[in-house]
Amino acid sequence: MRLPWQKHSTPETRASLEPAHNEFAIEVNGLSKTFGDFTAVNSISLSVGHGEIFGFLGPNGSGKTTTIRMLCGVIAPSGGGARIMGYDVVTESERVRENIGYMSQKFSLFQDLTVDENLKFYAGIYGLSDEKFAERREYILTMADLHGRENEMAGDLSVGWKQRLALGCATIHEPKLIFLDEPTSGVDPTARRQFWELLHDLAASGVTLFVTTHYMDEATHCNRLAFIYRGDIIAEGTPAEVKGDLMRDTILRVEVDRGEDALTALEGSPGIAEAYMQGSMLHVNVGERTEAEADLTGLLGGLGFTVLGVEPVEPTLEDAFVHLVTRQREVSA
């Protein structure tokens, strides 16, 4: 069984659909997408090298999924262009799809099919021979820890197993580039960690991974990353480079009663560059002042809060994102 855009995908034609030679796995130049008067993606440019894990980070609604749909050739851009494995996403969209894998946050599985039936469906889409399917099936069942569950309905699997099965289906044809659109959304921390171990194994084998996520902590797994906010890329580089602007600032982690109220009280206070909740703790950027100079214990105590602890911490990528968004808002104001 094949999808319409894969009607020419057969073993005989597969040799002619090998990725074109290109310096980058992904090249994006001035890519834009508008829906009426709304600009979802605003003339973005980036490049991703072969074998990289590239993180595409931003809050929900920032333009991540729209970008990935354009790069996969699913929707046409309103402006600019992109090449995937050397192929143009508009004029050679079928070639693009033949040479990539795609995994969405909904895992792209048929819930009313068994594990084996899902694998057979995707093998049919990509025209795998019986011999190749048997080889890939064994690999995927081992990778996903699904031996003995071949006849279980996908809908009955735990979220972690569904996630690994979906990764297997997305890679059954051994693509050299995989797009993963928020693949860990709704997955527990243990399953997320195990999933990233699988992604590192793929990258080590030379596969390029383009991962969208709104979990900032996952960006530490990436070789390089870009932050997108309201359709604009506001930072790009290695995790260390993205945090570079914050290295001279003092970031304080504050344990305080009524954290949300304390956060509201700090807004607009002199000397507070940024403040936000990270879990149950407050993260406060006090600029180039020292912890003693900032005296958050005294400041919050004077506002009626009980401070249980204050300590300086290394800037996180979430700190960097808040800093960049704040700066972007100031520029746009």
What is the per-residue pLDDT across 176-186, written as a single tens digit (0 to 9) for each? 999 998 888 77
Question: Residue 285's pLDDT is what?
Answer: 92
CA distance 85 to 20: 6
Give the rounded percent of residues in the chain with a pLDDT score beyond 70: 93
Three-class SS state of 231: coil
* Higher-confidence position of 216 and 111: 111
Instruction: Return the HEC string of 127-150.
Output: CCCHHHHHHHHHHHHHHCCCCCCC
Question: Sorting pLDDT into bands at 50, 70 and 90, what band is 333?
Answer: low
Question: What CATH number matches the domain at 4-238, 1.20.150.20, 3.40.50.300, 3.40.50.2300, 1.10.3720.10?
Answer: 3.40.50.300
Taking a C-beta distance cutoff of 8 angstroms, is the pair 49, 206 a contact?
no
CATH 3.30.70.100 fits 248-314, yes or no: yes
Mean predicted confidence (pLDDT) in 313-329: 86
Q: Record the tokens describing residue 118, joined without a space.
A: 């899902």
Tokens 């996908």 found at: 154
Q: Compute the C-alpha angle 191/212/25, nearest 5°.
A: 115
Q: Of 312 and 323, which is predicted with more confidence?
A: 312
Q: In the chain, where does the domain assigned CATH 3.40.50.300 lie?
A: 4-238
Task: Please check the confidence at residue 311 and state whether its pLDDT lies above 90.
Answer: yes
Angle between helices 159-170 and 115-125 (to 10 degrees): 20
Environment class of 260 (CB within 10 Å of its CB; exposed 0-12, middle 13-18, buried 19+): exposed
**Mean pLDDT taken over the chain:** 88
Contacts 24+ apart (CB under 8 A), 33-40: 33/63, 33/66, 33/67, 33/70, 33/75, 33/77, 33/78, 34/78, 39/231, 40/66, 40/231
Q: Does an H or E element contain 65, and which?
A: helix 64-71
On whether the CB atoms of residues 27 and 86 are closer than 8 A, the answer is: no
Q: How far apart are CA 29 and CA 138, in angstroms?
A: 40
**pTM of the shown model:** 0.84
Amino acid at 147: H
- The stretch 33-61 carries a mean pLDDT of 95
Cβ atoms of residues 250 and 286 within 8 Å? yes
DSSP state of 111: T
* Beta carbons within 10 angstroms of residue 213's beta carbon: 24
Nearest of 200, 202, 201, 205 to residue 220 by alpha carbon:
200
Q: Which regions of the chain carry the CATH code 3.30.70.100?
A: 248-314
